[in-house]
C-alpha cells in the first residue's frame, strides 16, 4: 500500500485534523463521481461511561443525530442524503465515530454539519425519551430476542474482566437507560465532546489548502473546553481459569466462548499482530486448523471462529484487548471435548509453529483484505481517524500489510504459548429448554 500523504493541523481549540488527499478518489478513470469522506472520532467509548449509566456512550451517539444548534431533528440526514451521500456513527470500547461520504463538491456541507453538532447538539427531554426507546428496541432486536445475542462481546467480558470499565454491558441495562437525564447528557457532552478530545479526518478528492480554510471557518469558533485525562483501564491478567454460564432461551444449540488477554495493541503492536495471524491460521477459511478438525474432520461443532478484538475486528481498542474463540456444538458433544480439541490445536502451534504455507496464506489474505478495504473512501477515512486517535499515527494503516507480512512462524508459536488454560475465561451458553445445556 502506498503511504498516504497526510497533512496535519491542530486548531487553537485543540481539534486535531488529519487530511489524506487522493486526487484519484472517484475520478473518471474509476467510473465514479469524485468523493470525499469526513469523520470525527471522539475519545470516549463504552469503557468511559460511569457506573449506573451502562449504555450511555451508545445512547449519546444516537442523540448526536437529533438536531443541533442550527438544525432541526433529521436535518443532518436530509442534508447528507440530499447531496447524494451516506452517513452513520458507531460506538466502540474506546471511541465513538461519526462519518459521511459525499460528492466532493459537498465537502463544506459535511464540515458544517459536524461542526454544528460538535458545538451544541439538541439535548431535550423529548429527544432523550425518544432515543432511549430506540436504543431499547435495538437491544431487543439484536440481543434479547436473537439467538446468541451478545455472544460473546457482551457476555464474555464480565467473566474475563473484574473492573466495571472492562466488564460491563456497553449496550446498556434498561434501568440505567431509563434513568438517564438531560443533565447527565449535558455533563457527558461537556466532558467528552470537546474539540480537544476529537480527531477530524477528511480523505479523498480534496484540495488541502481549501479544506483547511473550510475547517477553520466551521470549527474554529467551536469553544475550547478542558480535555479529560483518559484513565488507564488496565487490570491484572487472570491467575486461573474462570468460568461462567448464560441461559439463552432462543439458542437452539449449546455454545462456548474462550477469552484470553492480548498484548497491548499500542505498546506491543508486533506481538499483537502475531495474534492476528494466529487467529487466521486457526479459523480463517476452510483450510484453517479448527475448521479442518472440528467442523470437517471430527464434526464436533457446527460453527467455530477465533479472533482478536471483542467488537469483531483487530486494532479496534487500546489495552486491555481480548482474543476470543467461539464454538456452537450439538448437545451430544460435551463442552469439555470442544475445549480440549481447541487446546490441542493451540498446543500444536505453540510447539511446532505454523507451516510456511499456512503463514503465507493468512498473511497474504490479510494484506489483500487491507488493500481492498482502503480502496473504499469510507473505510480509509475511518481507519485513518481511529489509528490517529488510538495510536497517534494515522500512517499506521499503510504500514500494516508489511508488518503483518513480517510475522514469522516463531512469532505465531510464541503467541500460541500465551493462550494459557490457567489464565482464561470460559463462558458456556445453555440453550433453550435445558438448564444443563442439553437438547429440549
Q: Give yes or no: residues 337 and 193 share one domain.
A: no
Residue with cell 442534508: 79
Check whether residue 211 and residue 253 sit in a common domain.
Answer: no
φ, ψ of residue 201 in degrees (nearest 5): -120, 135
Select from 106, 315, 127 the least CA-distant residue to 204.
106
Span 254-266, average pLDDT? 97
Segment 414-432 mean pLDDT: 96
Query: So what's the pLDDT on residue 168?
Result: 97
Asked whether residue 267 is domain-assigned, the answer is yes
- Report, as an integer, the average pLDDT of 43-62: 96
**70-93: average pLDDT:** 93
Confidence category of residue 69, pLDDT binned at 50, 70, 90 = confident
230, part of any domain: no
Q: What distance in Å separates the CA atoms of residue 46 and residue 96, rounded to the nearest whole number?
A: 9
| Same-domain status, 208 and 258 | no
Q: How far is CA 185 from CA 56, 144, 164, 191, in A?
A: 9, 26, 20, 10
Predicted pLDDT at 32:
57
Domain of 136 in residue numbering reads as: 7-219
Under 8 Å CB-to-CB from 12, ≥6 apart: which residues?
220, 224
Q: What is the pLDDT of residues 118-134, one digit of tens each?
A: 999 999 999 999 999 99
Residue 401 to residue 417: CA distance in whole angstroms? 24
Are 205 and 296 in a shared domain? no
Radius of gyration of the chain (CA): 23
| 278, 400: one domain | yes
DSSP, collapsed to helix, strand or coil, labels residue 309 as coil
Using CA atoms of 279, 285, 291, 293 in order, give the dihedral in degrees to the nearest 10. Answer: -90
| 75 backbone dihedrals φ, ψ, rounded to 5° | -65, -35
Q: What is the pLDDT of residue 28?
A: 41
Per-residue confidence at 439, pLDDT binned at 50, 70, 90?
Answer: very low
CB 292 within 8 A of CB 382: no
SS3 content of the chain, % helix, strand, coil (to 5): 45, 15, 40
User: At residue 13, does pLDDT exceed 70?
Assistant: yes
**Taking residues 402-425, what's their average pLDDT?**
97
Residue with cell 454491558: 169
Cα distance between residue 294 and residue 413, in whole Å: 21
Q: What is the mean pLDDT of residues 371-394?
A: 96
Residue 23 is predicted with a pLDDT of 61
pLDDT tens digits for 291-349? 999 999 999 999 999 999 998 899 999 999 999 999 999 999 999 999 999 999 999 99
Q: How confident is residue 1, by pLDDT bands cut at 50, 70 and 90?
A: very low
Domain count, the chain: 2
Nearest Cα neighbor of 247 from 150, 166, 320 is 150
Instruction: Lowest mean pLDDT of 27-36, 113-122, 416-425, name the range.
Output: 27-36
- In tens, the pLDDT along 192-238 reads 999 999 999 999 999 999 999 999 999 999 999 999 999 999 999 99
Looking at 162, 187, 219, which one is the last position of a domain? 219
Residue 337 C-alpha cell reads as: 471435548
Q: Do 39 and 179 share a domain, yes or no?
A: yes
Task: Please identify which residue in the block is written with the cell numbers 465514479.
Answer: 32
CATH of the domain at 298: 3.30.830.10
Q: Does residue 112 belong to any structural domain of this protein?
A: yes
The answer to whether residue 440 is domain-embedded is no
C-alpha count within 13 angstroms, C-beta hemisphere, residue 366: 30
- Do 317 and 360 belong together in one domain? yes
Residue 140: CB atoms within 10 Å: 13
Residue 25, pLDDT score: 56
Q: Are 126 and 205 members of one domain?
A: yes
CB of 56 closer than 8 Å to CB of 41: no
Supply the pLDDT for residue 202: 98
Residues 292 and 197 in one domain: no
Residue 65 CB-density burial (10 A; 0-12 exposed, 13-18 middle, 19+ buried) = buried
Q: Mark whether 401 and 269 lie in a shared domain.
A: yes
Cell numbers 480554510 correspond to what residue?
A: 213
Q: What is the average pLDDT across 176-203?
A: 97
Same domain? 163 vs 254 = no
Q: Does any domain span residue 210?
A: yes
Give the mean pLDDT of 269-293: 97
- Select from 219, 250, 273 the last residue of a domain: 219
Distances (CA, A) of 361 to 89, 199, 287, 303: 33, 35, 10, 21
Q: What's the chain's average pLDDT?
A: 94
The model's confidence at residue 4, banded by pLDDT at 50, 70 and 90, is low
**Any domain includes 385:** yes
- Say yes or no: 423 and 275 in one domain: yes
On whether residue 310 sits in a domain, the answer given is yes
Domain assignment present for residue 187? The answer is yes
- Give residues with Cβ within 8 angstroms of 69, minimum separation 6: 116, 117, 119, 120, 121, 122
Across the strands, what pairs with 202? Answer: 19, 38
pTM for the complete prediction? 0.94
Amino acid at each position: 500500500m502506498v503511504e498516504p500523504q497526510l497533512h496535519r493541523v491542530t486548531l487553537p481549540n485543540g481539534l486535531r485534523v488529519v487530511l489524506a488527499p487522493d486526487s484519484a478518489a472517484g475520478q473518471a478513470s474509476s467510473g465514479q463521481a469524485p468523493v470525499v469522506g469526513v469523520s470525527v472520532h471522539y475519545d470516549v467509548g463504552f469503557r468511559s461511561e460511569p457506573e449506573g449509566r451502562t449504555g450511555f456512550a451508545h445512547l449519546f451517539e444516537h442523540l448526536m443525530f437529533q438536531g443541533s444548534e442550527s438544525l432541526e431533528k433529521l436535518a443532518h440526514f436530509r442534508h447528507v442524503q440530499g447531496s447524494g451521500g451516506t452517513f452513520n456513527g458507531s460506538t466502540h470500547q474506546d471511541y465513538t465515530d461519526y462519518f459521511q461520504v459525499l460528492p466532493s463538491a459537498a465537502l463544506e456541507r459535511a464540515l458544517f454539519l459536524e461542526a454544528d453538532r460538535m458545538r451544541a447538539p439538541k439535548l431535550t427531554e423529548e429527544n432523550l425519551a425518544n432515543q432511549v426507546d430506540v436504543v431499547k428496541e435495538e437491544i431487543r432486536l439484536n440481543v434479547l430476542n436473537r439467538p446468541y445475542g451478545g455472544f460473546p462481546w457482551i457476555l464474555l467480558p464480565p467473566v474475563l474482566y473484574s473492573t466495571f470499565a472492562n466488564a460491563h454491558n456497553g449496550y446498556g441495562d434498561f434501568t440505567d437507560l431509563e434513568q438517564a437525564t438531560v443533565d447527565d447528557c449535558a455533563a457527558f457532552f461537556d466532558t467528552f465532546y470537546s474539540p480537544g478530545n476529537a480527531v477530524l479526518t477528511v480523505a479523498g478528492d480534496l484540495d488541502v489548502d481549501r479544506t483547511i480554510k473550510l475547517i477553520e471557518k466551521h470549527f474554529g469558533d467551536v469553544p475550547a473546553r478542558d480535555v479529560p485525562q483518559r484513565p488507564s483501564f488496565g487490570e491484572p491478567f487472570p491467575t486461573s481459569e474462570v468460568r461462567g454460564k448464560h441461559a439463552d432461551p432462543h439458542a437452539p444449540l449449546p455454545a462456548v466462548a474462550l477469552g484470553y488477554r492480548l498484548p497491548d495493541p499500542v505498546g506491543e503492536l508486533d506481538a499483537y499482530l502475531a495474534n492476528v495471524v494466529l487467529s487466521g491460521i486457526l479459523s480463517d477459511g476452510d483450510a484453517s486448523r479448527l475448521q479442518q478438525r472440528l467442523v470437517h474432520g471430527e464434526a464436533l461443532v457446527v460453527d467455530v471462529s477465533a479472533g482478536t478484538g471483542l467488537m469483531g475486528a483487530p486494532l479496534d481498542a487500546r489495552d486491555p484487548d481480548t482474543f476470543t474463540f467461539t464454538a456452537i456444538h450439538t448437545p451430544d458433544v460435551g463442552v469439555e471435548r470442544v475445549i480440549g480439541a481447541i487446546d490441542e490445536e493451540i498446543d500444536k502451534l505453540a510447539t511446532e509453529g505454523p507451516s510456511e504455507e499456512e503463514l503465507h496464506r493468512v498473511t497474504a489474505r490479510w494484506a489483500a483484505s487491507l488493500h481492498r478495504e482502503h480502496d473504499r473512501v469510507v473505510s480509509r477515512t475511518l481507519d485513518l481517524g481511529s489509528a490517529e486517535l488510538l495510536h497517534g499515527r494515522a500512517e499506521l494503516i499503510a504500514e500494516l500489510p508489511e508488518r503483518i507480512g513480517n510475522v514469522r512462524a516463531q512469532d505465531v508459536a510464541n503467541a500460541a504459548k500465551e493462550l494459557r488454560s490457567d489464565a482464561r475465561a470460559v463462558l458456556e451458553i445453555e440453550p433453550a429448554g435445558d438448564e444443563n445445556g442439553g437438547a429440549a
